Amino acid sequence: MKSRTVELAVGVFVILFAAALFLLAMRVSGLAGSNLGETYTLTAKFDNISGLKERAKVTISGVKVGQVQKIAFDPMVDRAIVTIAMDKKLTTFTPEQLKQVEKNALEDLKYSYEYEQADPAQQKAMEKQLIDNMKHITTIDEDAYIKVATNGIIGEKYLKVEPGGAFTYIAQGGSFPDTQTQGTVEIEDLVNKFITNSSTSQNTSQAAEQQPASSPATTASQQSSDDALFKE
């Protein structure tokens, strides 16, 4: 009887341990639940997103600020389109911060060529349009870079946002500029590029070594010819 009790206790412990391990794996991979609050979406186009999956995290400075919501393909440009759900609380300005951002943006506008060339009425309109555009902006500036990154060497793929330094910001529901995205870097491509560059460098060195050097007789003849021309 005691033996059966011990076996039962061990069995329950193993089951609980396996369940806890499974839940932990699901939580780490992002497949179970989400700690995002109110969200909005952004989109980005990539040449290659190999290994990136839906629900993959999106980070800024190592902090999770969103996750991949949808992955699609645009046959018109042959690029992958990734829709991202961003945490609104973490990636939008507070009212106080927004006032300072508007102030900085207005100062930047006043130094622009278009503003200086405009008449007072046009300047007023430009200022109003700028303020209106600020109502639904994010904290991600238009110079920000988004790329497919890897946790460790062979870890999971995720999206990493590297902030820029512009005073213009991506609007909620907007997209990253196509020039500000970087897809998955394939190990095979890096190896092939390294081998190709090495082969090219080696061939160039061999060609340089095989070039015949000028013989002393040829050099002396050329020098005599130059002397004769000089005397004439």
pLDDT tens track for 72-95 = 999 998 999 999 999 999 999 999
182 shares a domain with 129: yes
Task: Give the single-character DSSP code of 212.
Answer: P
Q: Is residue 100 part of a domain?
A: yes
Q: What is the mean pLDDT of residues 138-161?
A: 89
103 shares a domain with 83: yes
Number of domains within the chain:
2
Final residue of a structural domain among 171, 187, 203: 187
168 shares a domain with 79: yes
Query: What span, in angstroms and rounded, lies between the C-alpha atoms of 156 and 184?
Result: 12
Final residue of a structural domain among 187, 210, 225: 187
149 shares a domain with 109: yes
Specify the pLDDT at position 168: 84
Specify the pLDDT at position 231: 46
47 shares a domain with 25: no
User: Per the confidence metrics, is the pTM higher than 0.95?
Assistant: no
Share of the chain above pLDDT 90, in %: 47
Other beta carbons less than 10 A from residue 66's beta carbon: 25
Helices (H) and strands (E) in the chain, counts: 6, 9
118 shares a domain with 10: no
pLDDT tens track for 133-147 = 888 999 999 999 999
Q: What is the mean pLDDT of residues 30-55?
A: 84
Residues paired with residue 206 on neighbouring β-strands, in sequence order: none
Specify the pLDDT at position 17: 79
pLDDT tens track for 4-15 = 776 777 777 778
